[in-house]
Structure 1
């Protein structure tokens, strides 16, 4: 039995942050019902990567909405809204990511919903929080990465601001929403009362930078400075970074510089003997190391460093990793199937419960695919 079996989540969220939270709860056993517009469904069904679709919905939509059910309802229609309110009275969790004021106009704001179901956990995702000068601005992953300073951490010193290659803000915000909802569910077992859980893209993206922001606060408000070349962390001393080798690249993490240089059969130059210089002269040290690491293959350096327990790794692409034995042992992928019998390969939930991996065969639903079953299950007609 999965830990969230018996918990029902009503999801009004769209795009990535809110739906990714619903995905994790569904993976952990919750019954997640996605409330969508009749016909077209949520707008995220048309957001694509490389224009890839499965049935009428984008592959991106399928990745964030597998293992859910869909209930189509026009929230501007009185009868549909009453059915949704009846559904709300019977569920444990409700989530949405509309801008401030939208749910109030519809009549599904927290106070109204709490009056219908005092035990409900009401989860809200916003772009910038519920109040403030940006409260009603559109929140989108790239915009949040740009506004939060996050784009100034990746890339090298001379590079333009460099966004993450992932929907980083969305995905972390979804994870934070799940954390808040699970905490509120635990709290409900003690008090018998529900709660309103709020997260925002901006606050979550600031939170994942807690190391760097704390350094900034306590370091005279000096901005982070990326390494000249091979940058991996703006505040970590050499040799931390990525280096070219004779046939590829080598990542060196938290490894003492003097031990690394000694293992290479070299003497640490006198100007770098003081450990304070390992950060202040980071670029010069990394240049020094590059001059030697480039002379041998990646495997040569791995064979030298790994027996010494140095924190090093090669740079892999998807093809290399997915064909490696370590990936095969993890069994991180699974095949899901639509109601029409179309199949798609995707990733599984990364969480194990009592040693068991969590797999699910169900793909994302079509808009309104489950109306009849849900109407019967919750006696909505």
Structure 2
């Protein structure tokens, strides 16, 4: 455990500098919310259980190079100070209350009612600290018949409908390849916290931000949700095809695959004229997007024969030259080597505790006046316990030693 003093912790900058978050989150949805706010300058105290910490600390392999720290944990926990407190014990609850009194925001993703058993629920803390913004991220929200259920990403993708939309028409329903239900819930949580901060600036009052992963999943059904509401028909799985636009999908080339994205009739006409397909523009089955959607199989088969005539590199060069949407299907190795990804700074390095660089994926928000602030690498478990308890609560070495003896920290 580190015994670093406050002079060793860089001071935050950014639009949220000066705000402090009491972070009671773990796994992904909650940590994603808090990391976004931390990158924007909020100071974060991540509260973890002594001895084990965030569940994702154990999600190995892989580990970060040269360490035993899980890559999963590292991806959602930079810019946070780790403090170990056992909030199940009365003395730990007192420490938590003392720290919360000095914080602006609390973010948690425990099951509904769990924190209330420890005196840390919103109904309890909101009365003690009227200005506190309390963000709760759960599987199903604070109310409703499913409120008590635990939430998991694949479960939410299934119940929220996205799995029914994903996959080949004759194959199994498929989840998305990354945990989008968790990530969206975290980002919606950050948006809710920012709105609550604006309200507090105007009124001095905090509030609870109630984020349910199923709610957010329903919200990001987007055009597919609206397709159902407009038609009353369940949208079918279309594999890599678009429900509302044709052609807008993956095509095989002579040596691989590319994505072809033709978003309007003018672009389709330009495509046909460039590649000797003018006759399609005289065919009512092809001339408008609505007609192409109605004749999806015919359009796909016709263009599949055309795309198979040349390799991917040839097609990408030709299509880009006439400003038709297209792209390669990159592996992650290719993504992180892409010159545009590199030029945009999407890969960052932060000096780790041992001084060696830690590679992380950058925050995608680009602010011209108050850029995101990368100041702390993902913390080791309990790394900042002494620092925080000394600086924020004034506990001396003997008081901290007593808390350790009692296994409170």
User: What TM-score, normalized by structure 1, do the two folds share?
Assistant: 0.93
Name 2:273's counterpart in structure 1: 262
Gap runs ≥5 in structure 2: 1-12, 396-409
Name 2:385's counterpart in structure 1: 371
Q: CA 1:198/1:271 → structure 2, altered by over 3 Å: closer, same or farther?
A: same
For residues 145-294 of structure 1, the aligned pairs below 5 Å read: 145-219=157-231, 221-227=232-238, 231-233=240-242, 235-253=243-261, 254-256=263-265, 257-266=268-277, 267-268=279-280, 270=283, 272-273=285-286, 275=288, 276-294=290-308
Q: Residue 18 of structure 1: which of 30, 52, 57 is its match?
A: 30
**Equivalents in 1 of 2:334, 2:88: separation in Å?**
51
Q: CA 1:209/1:216 → structure 2, altered by over 3 Å: closer, same or farther?
A: same
**Equivalents in 2 of 1:134, 1:347: separation in Å?**
34
Q: CA 1:226/1:190 → structure 2, altered by over 3 Å: closer, same or farther?
A: same
Name 2:50's counterpart in structure 1: 38
Q: Residue 63 of structure 2: which of 44, 47, 52 is its match?
A: 52
Give the number of aligned pairs.
Answer: 376
Distance apart, 1:30 and its partner CA:
0.6
Name 2:8's counterpart in structure 1: none
8 Å CA contact 2:160, 2:217 repeated in 1? yes
Name 2:7's counterpart in structure 1: none
Gap runs ≥5 in structure 1: none
- Indicate the RMSD between aligned Cα atoms, in angstroms: 2.0
Distance apart, 1:361 and its partner CA:
4.9
Name 1:121's counterpart in structure 2: 133
Distance apart, 1:208 and its partner CA:
0.9
Q: CA 1:52/1:367 → structure 2, altered by over 3 Å: closer, same or farther?
A: closer
8 Å CA contact 1:12, 1:35 repeated in 2? yes
**Equivalents in 2 of 1:56, 1:116: separation in Å?**
40
8 Å CA contact 1:87, 1:380 repeated in 2? no
8 Å CA contact 1:321, 1:327 repeated in 2? yes
Instruction: Compare 14-23 and 132-141 and name the one that shifted more.
Output: 132-141
Distance apart, 1:56 and its partner CA:
4.5
**Equivalents in 2 of 1:320, 1:45: separation in Å?**
28
Residue 322 (structure 2) pairs with residue 308 (structure 1): yes
